Structure 1
Amino acid sequence: MTDSSNTAMPLRIALLAQPAPAAGLSADCLTLLPTAETISISDYLEASAFEKALQTAVEAVSQGKLVRLIANIEQGESQPTILMLAGLTAAQNKIHPHAYLAGFADTLQQAITQSRRQAIDITNQQAFDMLTAAQKFEALYQMVEAIAERTLSDHYWFTEPHQARVASLTFNQQSSLILAQATGLQAPQSLLTPTRLLFIVAGHECAELQAKLAKLEQSLNGLAESDSEPHALISLMSETIRQYQAEASSTLGSANSQPKQVIVLQGASVSAVQQEISAISNALPKVIAEHSHYKTPAGSCFSPSPNSRGGVAFVYPGVGTVYPGMFRELHHYFPALYARLEREGNLKEMLQAEKTYGADPAEMTLGELAIAGVGSSYLLTQVLCEEFAVKPDFALGYSKGEASMWASLGVWKNPHALIKMTQTSPIFTTAISGELTAVREAWQLDDNETITWNSFVVRSEPEAIQTLLPEFPHAYLAIIQGDTCVLAGCENDCRALLKKLGKRGIAANRVTAMHTAPAMSQHQQVTEFYRQPLCDELPEHIRFISAAGLLVKNQNMSNNQNKPVQIDSQRIADSIADTFCSTLDFTALIRSAREQGARLFIEIGADRQTSTLIDKINRADQVTTESCTIAANAKGGEDILTLLKCLGQLITHQIPLSLDPLLEGLEQQQTNALSAANIPANKIQGEPV
């Protein structure tokens, strides 16, 4: 069947998986290549039909031919195709293959040897028994797609830095294939689809908005009766987005033009959007009269008096917000971004992938939570800033979120270096977590004395807790956050204080002494840890706000004031250390940010815990009309739906941003419709080698 000797020539056959129907390679590439020879597995009747057909294809490629490998010739164009050509030919014609066929032999070991790789290089092995020839083709096709999508199981296919994805397929113990990653990337999936709808309506006053809502509803009524509803929906979404972009650009360029009010409508179907239109039409007069913010669970929103331009604040959450499976689908929509992040650093470590995406997610240590927290914030920052061109005016962090903001917003030159440092630093492994050596020293405990540490969230005014703290020297007020506080320390002391306070506390069951008095012994070490080299070009337009500026100073702290932190390596390290080692007053931090001009608080990280806290603080301060929050992610929700809700609110608040990713996805769907009609239109997306 194959040359199974250990001296078999290595293969480098470029593979491109093309769904049915597909237009194939772009027309300009086709003119430079020979006419494709179709090889059908169904032409071979013996038990090894798949192997025979693939061997014939390999020999044809070695003769300089372009091959279309299909399962059944009788199905014509209505079936998936694997295009095969020599790797050198693909490179010469600037074609980005999805994968390379690097080995094809009777046994797995022979295929590995032929591919000139080691068994340890294979990051995904699949073995099949009793498959038909057509099923073997399907398995090959799916693996080529998986490599192009960088997807393993139901999440991103993580690898070690600068290592290609390599997979093996073994069929019925008769043949084995080795596939290796090439430069081809799957085209990004569209953020908007016929089941994820978004429309934009803009007008100067209530009557104009009502008229445009009625016009949109009329258009949707017409679509519901159309045979081409999906295609027409894509066109209508594209039309409203482009019209909004054009009007926003003209308003921005004119000094006298009055900005329009903007409504964003979202829903999972035509009927759902029609219900959203009906609801907002009824609410519109009241919302405009009260200058309030309108939003629905589906993501529709309206802000009649947006005042957030120039007041966008990125808020970075602290340790513990990451959750298993976070951002599981995100790479399908931003494949080029993931490829870039993978080239720049260790994406697998950055997101703590083995625990975040493992089959049985293990409980993370404080250091692992810190790394994954910064990693999730870094990733979402890239999505908003690089893909949608959102520019924050302010940045602040909850607890260790301060480190996330410096790492994510182009201040530290090499934030990836902090991953290994966090994994090994005694600060995170033993001093304020784990063995709690800083606590043991502060409490003057012997080695044989145990520490039972815990923290509790309690609904209470901070003053009531502070009054009782002298009676319980091993309990600490760690965090003040709206209508709740976090009490931490010796579990017995904390429970006794809560009992005397007459309050019930919710145990967090997390061992960390951040924001307590014992952490102060680590102040110098924390300062040295975060004294990082800065980028050559710094984001001077962002005002970075630290909780350290709100602290009561003592001799161990830097002399910060209640103003933005200067972008200086030492000042940044000092502010992080001050925050790290002292009580965190998040309520005061949000109030300070508002005083400095922050209006729209966007949480940049996993889940939406900080957004909930800010909402409570704003309600307590009765400023919900002029200040509001947006979460870029939410546990339990679909990542893309939450992102679209975030974008919808940015649009209605008239924050400058690019909607090109939305439009490009819609255009790709229209292109795919042309491809279905056999009109060549698509190109292969690639990444730098």
Structure 2
Amino acid sequence: MVNSTANVRSPSASAVSVSDQVIKSEMPLRIALLVLPTPLDLRLYNAENAKLLPHLLPELYRSKLLETTELVSIKVDDFEANLTATIESIEQGKIVQISTETSSLLMMPALTAAQNRIHPHAVLAAMQIQTGSGSVTSALTDTCIADSCMADSCMKSALNQAKRKQASVSKRIDLPELSSTEQFDAVCEQIKNLASRTHHRDPASISPKQATSHYWFTEHHQARVLAINLTNASQSSSAAEPTANCISFVVSQGTGFIAAKSIINEQRLQFVICADSQAGLTAELGTLQAKLTALISKPADRGSLLTLMRDNLLAFEASTHREYAIILQASSLEGMQQEIDAISLALPKVMSEKGQAHSSQYKTPAGSYFTAEPLGTTDQSGLAFVYPGVGTVYSDMFSELHGYFPSLYSQLEREGDLKSMFQADAIYNLDPKVTPAMPLGDLAIAGVGSSYLLTQLLVKEFGITPNFALGYSMGEASMWASLGVWKDPHALIEKTKTDPLFTHAISGKLTAVRRAWQLDETDADIMWNSFVVRSAAAPIKALLPKFPHAYLAIVQGDTCVIAGCETQCRELLTQLGKRGIAANRVTAMHTTPAMEEHNNVALFYQQPLEESLPTEIKFISAASGDSKVTNSHGGLDSQVVASSIADTFCNTLDFTALIHSAQKQGAKLFVELGADRQNCTLIDKIAKLDRNTNAGTAESFLTSKKTEESQANSLPQKDAAGACTVPVNAKGGNDITTLLKALGQLISHRVPLTTQPLIDGLNREIALTQLQAVSTAQQVTAEQMTTLTLQGEV
């Protein structure tokens, strides 16, 4: 049994004596802190709480610490005194729950936490208290200045106690003039930010379109350290002068994290309907509709909805062999019923169109999706990961993901410099104009970083493995970095920022272009630009001889990109009779002058490979034609990889041909791994052009009465109908909503994956709901007992 004591207060002592006692403490504190979900009361550790702890605090549950160690429970009423009592209890080997109505912390010796394999959310390293009388404040007429001086002095003492220098502090938080409960709640909020690695922005410094928070980045291998100062000025009835109190804490990050947020909740509903036939799907939709109707009749029952979604996912995990899957998504129960009605009406038509090109699928803006022709099954083996090139990153991208995948971010942080990998100073700059103006090298780093993150998310969190991989332009580098080919992709970060290849050869001063154009230092700077133009490649190629300093850089569906001397590019567009959209970015990739740097590009990307390379993925390069990238022995080596990147880098990129090559080899379901969804848009356009071409070709054959054999031989050798795209991220969209929609499409396409992260999140939400229900029931019982007592006294 757990011994518990409620509302423990410190021994009676004046504030000054308490202060003197704490100030004399020079040894660092080693106190582990765990943020507890409110209103969890560990004194009530019984059968009900025991069922919840495995989901809410699994490490604490497994340790059995609550069954073997005395627990002291302290309700905050005098924060300074409560903290002193807490530290005294911990020094006696006890564990302490200190709480208010809205916040709660479990505190214990750090050694106890380590011995029980409990990863704390934070570690309290120092606490100092100082009290100033009139002698301190009288010399300073400005109370704010006086408080600041006291906070500085108290903070200095705390840092000395923690054996830390001022430079090691990640953030200093000053919280003046709060009540005891407000002080505790504010400190708990800062510890939550530390444990969730979340940086909150000042609302006054951001626009409505900017993220209110994002991941808390630090320099590589540098722990996050909080310095918190609580200051109060009070007028004692027995003192002629006002007194000022300051409590300073030094808190460092722990090895644990705030539990991941649930991807599915009451605002993001999801259900999966599986069956082997249209009749089976219709029946399952009807069953779900009836269950939802029953839930609507009792809207206060939040837990039932969460449990229904959890049980639905558990059933899906057990029925992955079913041929068809409908994904249903909505933001409310009523919305979910509307989604069921809509997809029920569309189902017969979608099933009847099976085998008739691209139309055998149905999707709604809310995210519901169904396809009658799954393209990602094990038999199909048609799943392709597509990696975008430079320039897709945007301000505040992925600002929400870390709260849903904290362990993934922790892993990435251990592997390398996460701040540099995301180019966080630019991507999360308060000035939104900074990101679009990033240099080429920085854009390349952030692009690879975003692709790497999303790849690890799909592969490690959801167990998804592609059959194919390909990249748009420098997306090939992202491909090799993200899929376990390069041994140390992080090594390229600093090289990319400093190597002449990116700083001035094919960007900046364009020294490679100047060599190709035989310009010397006395010649004027090159005015370089690139333009997106809606045109086929052939008419552009026909005009290029007239404009030797203009180049066809990229072919992509119904558009092309020309680049080079801005004047010649504009003149070419005039003769072409087309308007071009200027990119206003200086890069000579995919132009003839880039060949000046071919050897340097190959050397730059010649990186050591992993000892064990993925064998189930076919890597396709834009430079490799219709074959996957291999060497003469059928495998990969660093030189082959580097050469393929250099060839793609220095030649015209024909993205249309790359997609056709992938389709010819069996790729059908294209998932874009990177910021935004630009490649999905391009692939959709390519597929649409192919369908129109096929339709036109077929009509032409019917008109000319060709034989069946010649018709089959003349049609394009690719299945344009089998090109379906899935974006994992979209600029301007909600990170988690877009991800959930992507997972829904993959589920309907029967891609082998696990929904365990969704189930785990729902289990935590259900446990929190049950905790709240237990607490509410206890409060009602307590109120009833009080009422009965008062009635008896009367």
Structure-1-length-normalised TM-score:
0.91
Partner of 1:38: 73
Identify the match of residue 408 of structure 1 among 460, 482, 487: 482
Identify the match of residue 421 of structure 2 among 335, 342, 350: 350
Partner of 1:109: 156
Cα distance between partner residues in 1 of 2:30 and 2:430 = 33
Q: Percent of pairs identical after alignment?
A: 52
CA pair 30-227 structure 1, distance change in 2 beyond 3 A: farther
Note if contact 2:63-2:117 (Cα within 8 Å) is conserved in structure 1: no
Cα distance between partner residues in 1 of 2:296 and 2:623 = 57
Identify the match of residue 295 of structure 1 among 363, 367, 389: 363
The 4+ residue runs of structure 1 with deviation greater than 6 A are none
- Deviation at 1:224? 0.6
Give runs of aligned pairs for residues 28-427 of structure 1, distance below 5 A.
Answer: 28-31=63-66, 33-42=68-77, 44=78, 50-71=79-100, 78-105=101-128, 106=130, 107-153=154-200, 154-172=213-231, 174-248=246-320, 251=321, 259-291=322-354, 292-309=360-377, 310-361=381-432, 362=434, 363-427=437-501
* Alignment partner of 1:636 is 2:732: yes
- Deviation at 1:202? 1.7
- Deviation at 1:53? 2.4
Question: Secondary structure at 2:764's aligned position in 1?
Answer: helix
Task: Return 169-178 or 350-359, whichever deviates more.
Answer: 169-178
Cα distance between partner residues in 2 of 1:590 and 1:27 = 51
Cα distance between partner residues in 1 of 2:658 and 2:24 = 67
Cα distance between partner residues in 2 of 1:501 and 1:433 = 27
Contiguous gaps of at least 5 residues in structure 2: 1-18, 43-59, 131-153, 201-212, 232-244, 355-359, 692-718, 776-794
Larger radius of gyration: 2
Matched letter for residue 675 of structure 1: L
Cα distance between partner residues in 1 of 2:277 and 2:755 = 24
Note if contact 1:546-1:565 (Cα within 8 Å) is conserved in structure 2: no
- Deviation at 1:650? 0.7
Note if contact 2:677-2:731 (Cα within 8 Å) is conserved in structure 1: yes
Contiguous gaps of at least 5 residues in structure 1: 45-49, 72-77, 252-258, 551-560, 680-689
Partner of 1:490: 565
Question: Secondary structure at 1:547's aligned position in 2?
Answer: coil
Question: Secondary structure at 1:164's aligned position in 2?
Answer: coil
* Alignment partner of 1:541 is 2:616: yes
Question: Secondary structure at 1:134's aligned position in 2?
Answer: helix
CA pair 381-2 structure 1, distance change in 2 beyond 3 A: farther
CA pair 538-228 structure 1, distance change in 2 beyond 3 A: same
Question: Secondary structure at 1:167's aligned position in 2?
Answer: strand
Cα distance between partner residues in 2 of 1:208 and 1:134 = 57
Note if contact 1:37-1:67 (Cα within 8 Å) is conserved in structure 2: yes
Question: Secondary structure at 1:247's aligned position in 2?
Answer: coil
- Deviation at 1:244? 2.2
What does the per-residue CA deviation read over 1:622-667, in whole Å, with 9 as the maximum and x for residues that have no partner? Answer: 1553221101111111111111111111111111111111111111
Partner of 2:12: none
Cα distance between partner residues in 2 of 1:232 and 1:298 = 22
* Higher helix residue share: 2
Note if contact 1:412-1:534 (Cα within 8 Å) is conserved in structure 2: yes
Matched letter for residue 151 of structure 1: T
Cα distance between partner residues in 2 of 1:241 and 1:109 = 53
Matched letter for residue 442 of structure 2: E
Cα distance between partner residues in 2 of 1:458 and 1:546 = 24
Task: Return 106-115 or 622-631, whichever deviates more.
Answer: 622-631
What does the per-residue CA deviation read over 1:479-516, in whole Å, with 9 as the maximum and x for residues that have no partner? Answer: 00000001111111111111111111111111111001
Task: Return 114-123 or 61-70, whichever deviates more.
Answer: 61-70
Equivalent pairs, count? 648
CA pair 565-666 structure 1, distance change in 2 beyond 3 A: same
Task: Return 433-442 or 394-403, whichever deviates more.
Answer: 433-442
Note if contact 1:23-1:676 (Cα within 8 Å) is conserved in structure 2: no
Matched letter for residue 630 of structure 1: V
Question: Secondary structure at 1:283's aligned position in 2?
Answer: helix
Partner of 1:646: 742
Question: Secondary structure at 2:624's aligned position in 1?
Answer: helix
Matched letter for residue 743 of structure 2: L
Note if contact 2:350-2:362 (Cα within 8 Å) is conserved in structure 1: yes
Structure-2-length-normalised TM-score:
0.79
- Deviation at 1:7? 6.7
Matched letter for residue 318 of structure 2: A
CA pair 32-219 structure 1, distance change in 2 beyond 3 A: closer
Task: Return 510-519 or 79-88, whichever deviates more.
Answer: 79-88
Note if contact 2:386-2:670 (Cα within 8 Å) is conserved in structure 1: yes
Note if contact 1:2-1:104 (Cα within 8 Å) is conserved in structure 2: no
Question: Secondary structure at 1:190's aligned position in 2?
Answer: coil
Task: Return 327-336 or 154-163, whichever deviates more.
Answer: 154-163
